[in-house]
Amino acid sequence: HGFFCLSPQVYNPNLAYGTMESAEQPPQGSSQPPTRRAYIAIATLCHLNLVNYMDWFLVAGVFKVKSGCSSLLSFLFMAVFILCFLFSAPVFGYLGDRYNQKIILSIGISFWSTVTFCSSFIPMPWLFFISRGLVGVGTSSFSTIAPTIIADLFEKDYRTWMLSVFYIFIPVGSGLGYILSSGVARASGFWGWGFRVSLGWPALSLRESPWFKTVGFCQSVSSVTSTFSFSCWSFIGSSLGVTSMGFITGALGFWIPVFLYRAEVVLGIIQPCSKQPCKNHNSEIFGGITIATGILGVVIGAEAARRYKKVNTKADPLICAVGLFSSSPCMYLAIMLAEKSIVAAYILIALAVFFLSLNWAIVADILLYVVKPACQSTALSLQIFMSHLLGDAGSPYLIGIVHQRDNSTLWDFQSLKYSFVVCIFVGVLGGGCFLMTAVHIEEDSKKAAAPATPLPVTPGQSFSFHSWNKNMIH
């Protein structure tokens, strides 16, 4: 009774998991051509993922424009969003494995978009602080359920490609968040317009959403608590690898525009900014780099995994390890060469983002085939909880603590440069975690693919159990 991939599940021959309603429907990942409904669903989910990550990075871009705002205050706005997101993720993961997923998504998206719009009118920092936490709760409903919907709708080869399309919108949304927030704030003279421009997008996505229905579910609370029995090393290793990715992307996303601005000041390219808004375009340039290299990285990573998997079943974690091991030296060279050539720094940052982006679709695919389908939302929520709690929730603050600001422009730049070395070590550790995943992934995937073990129940228990399940879902 180990991890998700080992836990027995109550089996009901009349009910199937995912979007299927009939017992004759094939299991998750079987070979069936995608339907029109499936393509509408993936378009809807990609649209929402784009807006999700735009919203994540709107605040970071805004506060790079408002240079007079303290780093501590801007960090707190990001931190409360991430903390509320990660603590609500297990709740939505639990609900996503048990109840109607469309209802959960609709409520979460409506709540998230409404609070985002209202936050643009808030004049007081403490109210804006609360609103960012509420937005984090709303977005967690989407992030924990969307990948499992894709797994239900597409077969194995199609699933890898659809996950890559879905995860392309992580770098695209992140980059657009930077560009939209800083660009709109600079053009309009008011930071809140960035939140208003992105408001209507989630609402448009609800019109064509198919009626997703999750019928099967994770057996019991014991299935969740067994997470910590360390029996499914593939899930543990990949989750630690994702955590290292979150740590790096959180730190880079928050501090790289500041680092590049200070590098330009040290090089004499621009003068120190004393008047708001500052007329530098580092957020827009970094956003453009993130979009271009992110798309390229996700597509190449997914295709490389698909081809390499035909000759090596350990392809997915090995490619993830290569991505993290390769990004670390690129980051090191970028921060060390920034004071000599800003162009070289941009090129090396682009390479680092490219190598990190190789992993986004692959790590989601790993989870989907080492965890039993009825427990995937719960497993994903736990992975999200770990990756944000130990990753991007604290990495910007840690970099800020290591980097001690001074009145000297040169010292501000140098201290921030050396604080990024933490990210390099974390990247190497993450690559090692994916190598550990490669050792165990074959065994764990076979256990997850094995048929569910029927558990003996009395007729009375069976009737009450299934009646409760049917009533709660329908």
Per the domain annotation, does 443 fall within a domain?
yes
Q: Let me know whether 67 and 154 are in one domain.
A: yes
Is the entire prediction scored with pTM above 0.75? no
- Digit-coded pLDDT (tens) for 219-242: 444 444 444 344 688 899 999 999
73/120 same-domain check: yes
Number of Cα atoms under 13 Å in the Cβ half of residue 161 = 7
Shared domain check, 443 and 334: yes
CATH number, domain at 304? Answer: 1.20.1250.20
On whether both 402 and 265 belong to a single domain, the answer is yes
Task: Give buried/exposed letters for 75-88 (b at 16+ CB in 10 A, else e).
Answer: bebbbbbbbbbbbb
Q: In this structure, are 337 and 207 located in the same domain?
A: no
Give domain status of residue 202, yes or no. yes
Classify residue 24: in a domain, yes or no.
Answer: no
| 390 and 283 within one domain | yes
- 235 and 170 in one domain? no
CB 434 within 8 A of CB 321: yes
Range of the domain at 358: 230-271+279-449
Question: 291-317 burial, b for 16+ CB within 10 Å, e for fewer?
Answer: bbbbbbbbbebbebbbeebeeeebbbb
Would residue 297 count as lying in a domain? yes
Q: How many domains in the chain?
A: 2
Tell me, yes or no, whether 132 and 235 share the same domain.
no
State whether 186 and 44 are in the same domain: yes
Residue 470 lies in a domain: no
Same domain, 197 and 316: no
In a domain, 468, yes or no: no
Q: How far apart are CA 180 and CA 283, in angstroms?
A: 10
257 & 404 share domain:
yes
* Domain presence at residue 472: no
108 in the same domain as 45:
yes
Q: Is residue 405 part of a domain?
A: yes
pLDDT in tens, the chain (474 residues): 333 343 333 334 333 333 333 334 444 444 566 677 888 888 888 888 888 887 777 766 555 545 444 455 666 777 788 788 878 888 888 887 777 777 888 888 888 778 877 877 777 777 877 888 888 888 888 888 888 888 778 876 778 788 888 888 888 887 777 777 666 666 666 666 666 665 545 544 544 444 444 444 454 444 444 443 446 888 999 999 999 998 998 888 888 888 888 888 888 887 776 665 566 677 778 888 888 898 899 889 988 988 898 899 899 999 999 999 999 999 999 999 998 999 999 999 999 999 999 988 888 888 888 887 777 777 887 888 888 788 887 888 888 788 766 667 777 888 888 899 999 999 999 999 999 999 999 888 888 777 655 545 444 444 333 343 434 434
